[in-house]
Amino acid sequence: MIFISQGGRCGNQLFNYAFMRRLQNYYPNEKVVFDFSDVVLKSTEKSCGQYWEDSLKYFNTIPYETITYGDNIISKYGSFKQNISFLVWKFANKFVKNNLSAKSIKFQERLYYYLSKFGIYYLNNGYSKFQISGAKNKFIYGTYEDIRWFDDIREKLLIEFTPKAPVLDTNIELYNKIISSNSICISLRRWDLDVQNNTGLKARKICDENYYSQAINYMKSKVDNPVFVVFSDDVEWGKNIVKKAAGNETIISESGQDNVAEKLRLMYSCKHFILANSTFCWWAQYLCKNDSKIVVSPNCWLKIKNYSHPLISNEWVLLKT
């Protein structure tokens, strides 16, 4: 079996699923089991925000099982060698002071390659080759926020990340407007709604009104008759920011009441994108099938010295923040 530990919301869950599907090239007959223990725990904490759930259930994924074990799944389902290897990983990481430094990422990549021999695929930062394991059970931990993990199976993901349900009746008019116009998906995230740690909040509050003003003006100079489509965890707040910069251009928005799959479909159906520093909107532009799409993004996704986020593409228009 392949066990995948899920610790985030929809955007993060899609990354882990994508890596799992890539790994299945080598283990095609393995049953897939997602552990949602951390997600269930965070769903009970008001400070964590909304959408803590099994988001994969809304998409055309391959069949999978779920568990909420509530502890390290290796301790229950892993072999003796895997448990020892996992203890080595925990011990080694005690000496990592800054897990986003270049030196630390290189160390994590080497450790990842070693652990993969035993069927443990654990990496929070970086990208590495891995070994094919003969272990009975395999375990996936981490974030896998790097396109190199799965871009060679993009066509497969385009199908599997399609929502199971058709467009909601309440969204037909919005959806038709999106697909029939020069629609620009503009994502605005209020990090203060779900990040309570001051250090974490400071590192993530990047996309201010000046960024959106620059991004909107750039799109206005490149796209004829643009239609700005607002997506946000606080829709009214987002619309107010967009209105200041968009002027007389057409502005429409999501309702803010849809499940994550419906919301993602509306987003990736747009022609162009103004991103926030968010994995969810990253998936929207990745799943978009418009080959001539324009993607505007902040040049920094985390305010951490000497760190460049691997999701930022050189093919995008990057604005200094």
Residue 194, pLDDT above cutoff 80: no
Residue 136, pLDDT above cutoff 90: yes
Q: Which residue is listed with tokens 């400071």?
A: 202
When comparing pLDDT for 138 and 302, which is higher? 138
User: Under a CB-based contact definition with an 8 Å cutoff, are residues 187 and 281 in contact?
Assistant: yes
User: Under a CB-based contact definition with an 8 Å cutoff, are residues 167 and 28 in contact?
Assistant: no
Residue 155, pLDDT above cutoff 90: yes
Closest among 276, 301, 272, 306 to 289, alpha carbons compared: 272
Residue 102, pLDDT above cutoff 90: no
244-251 average pLDDT score: 93
Give the model's pLDDT for residue 13: 98
User: Under a CB-based contact definition with an 8 Å cutoff, are residues 296 and 219 in contact?
Assistant: yes
Residue 97, pLDDT above cutoff 70: no
Looking at residue 168, the DSSP 8-state letter turns out to be: P
Residue 24, pLDDT above cutoff 70: yes
Region at 149 (left for phi over 0; alpha for psi -120 to 50; beta for the rest): alpha
When comparing pLDDT for 199 and 58, which is higher? 58
Beta partners for 35? 5, 67
Residue 174, pLDDT above cutoff 80: yes
Looking at residue 163, the DSSP 8-state letter turns out to be: B
Rounded distance between C-alpha atoms, residue 298 and residue 312, angstroms: 9
Considering the four listed CATH numbers 3.30.70, 3.40.50, 3.40.30, 3.30.1360, the one that applies to the domain covering 169-319 is: 3.40.50
What would the two tokens of residue 33 be?
């089991």
User: Under a CB-based contact definition with an 8 Å cutoff, are residues 78 and 137 in contact?
Assistant: yes
241-247 average pLDDT score: 94
Average pLDDT over the chain, rounded to an integer: 93
Residue 190, pLDDT above cutoff 80: yes
Domain definitions of the chain by residue range: 2-157, 169-319
Rounded distance between C-alpha atoms, residue 113 and residue 7, angstroms: 22
Give the model's pLDDT for residue 307: 81
Count CB-CB contacts under 10 A for residue 80: 7
Residue 195, pLDDT above cutoff 70: no
Residue 36, pLDDT above cutoff 70: yes
pLDDT digits (tens, 9 = 90+) for 214-234: 999 999 999 999 999 999 999
- Residues 6 or more apart whose CB falls under 8 angstroms from that of 1 comprise 30, 31, 32, 33, 77, 136, 137, 138
Q: Which residue is listed with tokens 């509306």?
A: 266
Beta partners for 32? 2
pTM score, whole prediction: 0.94
Tell me how far apart the terminal alpha carbons of the chain are, to the nearest angstrom. Answer: 44
DSSP string computed for 250-272: EEEE--S-S-HHHHHHHHHTSSE
Rounded distance between C-alpha atoms, residue 278 and residue 287, angstroms: 15
Give the model's pLDDT for residue 197: 66
pLDDT digits (tens, 9 = 90+) for 267-283: 999 999 999 999 999 99
User: Under a CB-based contact definition with an 8 Å cutoff, are residues 83 and 74 in contact?
Assistant: yes
Position 2: which residue type?
Answer: I
Position 171: which residue type?
Answer: N
